[in-house]
Amino acid sequence: MIKEYRTIQEVAGPLMLVRKVEDVSFNELGEIELPTGEKRRCRVLEVNGSDVLVQLFESSSGINLRDSKVRFLGRSLELAVSADMLGRVFDGLGNAKDGGPAILAEARMDINGLPMNPAARNYPNEFIQTGVSTIDGLNTLVRGQKLPIFSGSGLPHAQLAAQIARQSKVRSADSKFAVVFAAVGITYEEAEFFISDFKKTGAIDRTVLFVNLASDPAIERIATPRMALTAAEYLAFEQDMHVLVIITDLTNYAEALREVSAARKEVPGRRGYPGYLYTDLATMYERAGRRLGKEGSITMIPILTMPEDDKTHPIPDLTGYITEGQIILSRELYRKNVHPPVDVLPSLSRLKDKGIGADKTREDHANTMNQLFAAYARGKECKELMTILGEAALTDVDKQFAKFADAFERKYINQGYEENRPIERTLEIGWELLTILPKTELKRIKPEYIEKYYPEGVKND
């Protein structure tokens, strides 16, 4: 018999205090019944004697302290999962939003999940071809990796994410593939861009969407990414699918978390974000991965916008410490009309070394990748020097490096959002660009690869 409490003491922001509660447990899901009969969900944040502090998952408007009732349901927030979720659209709390019927649950899963045993993880090492040169060639994505896109306001992260979702494939076998997309506090237009892109390519049939728009209650956003990850876990580890999870925009999630923390009057960490932001983000990001003995995998591409393009802002900073690399978009390249404007030098995929090489991509991949990086870095330095001192100050070799840097941006990075480049083409372009430099400068490439792959008679202009 579930008890009902009419003892709501206060409602402040996303928090509510309920008095004289018995038999309630930490993190339990609650249900508030408004005088109108409307029901809203909440969860227990703190139990202190008979006082219970709960956090609302939905808006607090209309909650009347005297007439509203609270029930505690004896379980935590769950998501009904089933393979039928593919092709459906849900709101931020997992309710069907597309007018279709509710999901017939094959299982109900706690959205918070449990930590994965590190001994049960399988190391990600399968190359995913995204068809984007800057990713495949230089910051290779592998199955089970979490690789965020660090963007800025106004930069085309959505186009890049859609391109990745559209083009991604594993080269070896054909296996079941699905996309779980979570829109967290983004605008209607942005969400619609993704949905129509998925529809256009037919990907929508193997996509599960969770949509919390900017106009939806901010507090709902705390649950949305976890809903998506729970669905992804089900598809990956119960249905043996390879799931790509795209979450956009995690900055909005972190702000919702800050709102709750501020309402609880917790000691703030940097920029007012709670001290446990790292741990909180980690409990989501770490749900990506592969498990021993399981066919499926979760590959995660969270997108976040860096306030003021500042990489040291707590959200990108803490994210970078948890995820296995980052793809950073550059405003400078965007202004130069280079698309996708991936800032190659600070971007990184930590798992790339495990996903490339002779039997995965090609034997010369690692060497040419390092050479391209080093050459582009040196070329950029030379160009900087050139702007200060003029072209005459550069040595001949430096001038060639500067020329290389320009050509690299124009041909390698700038591929647009429609071109799907196989890895061989990406490597080929890399080699063509390297011919701009004197052969003696290709120190990072083994002589036998130069012998084998160096293209003759390339004209770079």
Partner 1 sequence: MGQIVKISGPLVVAEGMGDASMYDVVRVGPQKLIGEIIEMRGDRASIQVYEETAGLGRGDAVESTGAPLSVELGPGMMENIYDGIQRPLEQIRSRYGDLIARGIEVSSVDREKKWEFTATAAVGDKVSGGDILGTVQETPVVLHKIMVPHGVSGEVTAIKSGEFTVEQTVATVKTADGKREITMIQKWPVRSGRPYREKIMPNVPLQTGQRIVDTLFPIAKGGTAAVPGPFGSGKTVVQHQLAKWSDVDIVVYIGCGERGNEMTDVLREFPEIKDPRTGESLMKRTVLIANTSDMPVAAREASIYTGITIAEYFRDMGFDVAVIADSTSRWAEALREMSGRLEEMPGEEGYPAYLSSRLAQFYERAGRVKTLGGDGTRLGSISAIGAVSPPGGDLSEPVSQATMRIVKVFWALDSGLAYRRHFPAINWLNSYSLYEDVLSDWLNDNIDKKFSAQRVWAMGILQAEAQLDEIVRLVGMDSLSPDDRLTMEVARMVREDFLQQDAFSDTDAYSSTKRQYALMHILREYHIRAQDAMSRGVGINDVLGLPSREKIGRAKNVTGDFENAYAEIERDIISELAGLTRAAAAGSDTSAKEVQS
Q: Angle CA(354)–CA(355)–CA(360) in degrees, nearest 5?
A: 125
Nearest distance from C-beta of residue 203 to partner 1, angstroms: 27
Cβ–Cβ < 8 Å for 77, 43: yes
DSSP-assigned beta bridge partners for residue 78 = 110
- Return the number of the residue (238 or 419) whose C-beta is nearest partner 1: 238
Q: Which of 266, 418, 424, 448 binds partner 1 (CB under 8 A)?
A: 266
Residue 451 as a binder of partner 1 (CB under 8 A): the answer is no
Tokens of 103: 């999901």
- Residues with Cβ < 8 Å from 189, sequence gap 6 or more? none
Cβ–Cβ < 8 Å for 339, 416: yes
Residue 116 as a binder of partner 1 (CB under 8 A): the answer is yes
Nearest distance from C-beta of residue 308 to partner 1, angstroms: 13
- Return the number of the residue (303 or 351) whose C-beta is nearest partner 1: 351
Stretch near partner 1 under the rule CB under 8 A, chosen from 171-179, 251-259, 298-306, 382-390: 382-390
Show contacts with partner 1 in window 164-183 (CB under 8 A): none
Nearest CA to 102 out of 93, 110, 90 is that of 90
Q: How many CA atoms lie within 13 A of 79 on its CB side?
A: 28
- Residues with Cβ < 8 Å from 322, sequence gap 6 or more? 146, 278, 281, 282, 285, 286
Q: How many whole angstroms separate alpha carbon 54 and alpha carbon 220?
A: 14
DSSP-assigned beta bridge partners for residue 247 = 182, 302
Per-residue binding string, partner 1, 340-379, x by CB under 8 A, is -----xx-x-xx-x------------x---x--xx--xx-
Q: What is the DSSP letter of 37?
A: S
Residue 267 as a binder of partner 1 (CB under 8 A): the answer is yes
Show contacts with partner 1 in window 62-81 (CB under 8 A): 76
- Return the number of the residue (138 or 161) whose C-beta is nearest partner 1: 138
Q: Which of 60, 82, 122, 420 binds partner 1 (CB under 8 A)?
A: 122
Per-residue binding string, partner 1, 223-262, x by CB under 8 A, is --------------x-------------------------
Nearest distance from C-beta of residue 270 to partner 1, angstroms: 6
Nearest CA to 342 out of 142, 146, 126, 148 is that of 148
Q: How many whole angstroms separate alpha carbon 460 and alpha carbon 345?
A: 22
- Return the number of the residue (145 or 207) whose C-beta is nearest partner 1: 145
Judged by DSSP in three states, 314 sits in helix
Stretch near partner 1 under the rule CB under 8 A, chosen from 113-121, 217-225, 408-416, 424-432: 113-121
Show contacts with partner 1 in window 384-443 (CB under 8 A): 385, 388-389, 393, 395, 440, 443
Q: Which of 5, 28, 224, 235 binds partner 1 (CB under 8 A)?
A: 28
Show contacts with partner 1 in window 269-328 (CB under 8 A): 269-270, 275-276, 278-279, 282-283, 285-287, 289, 291-292, 294, 311-314, 317-318, 320-322, 324-326
Nearest distance from C-beta of residue 431 to partner 1, angstroms: 18
Category of 44 on φ-ψ map: left (φ > 0), alpha (ψ -120 to 50) or beta: beta
Residue 152 as a binder of partner 1 (CB under 8 A): the answer is no
Total residues contacting partner 1 (rule CB under 8 A)?
A: 79
Nearest CA to 227 out of 184, 260, 257 is that of 184
Tokens of 227: 């809903």
- 227: burial class by Cβ within 10 Å (0-12, 13-18, 19+)? buried
Nearest distance from C-beta of residue 147 to partner 1, angstroms: 12
Residue 7 as a binder of partner 1 (CB under 8 A): the answer is no
Stretch near partner 1 under the rule CB under 8 A, chosen from 116-124, 185-193, 212-220, 244-252: 116-124
Cβ–Cβ < 8 Å for 444, 419: no
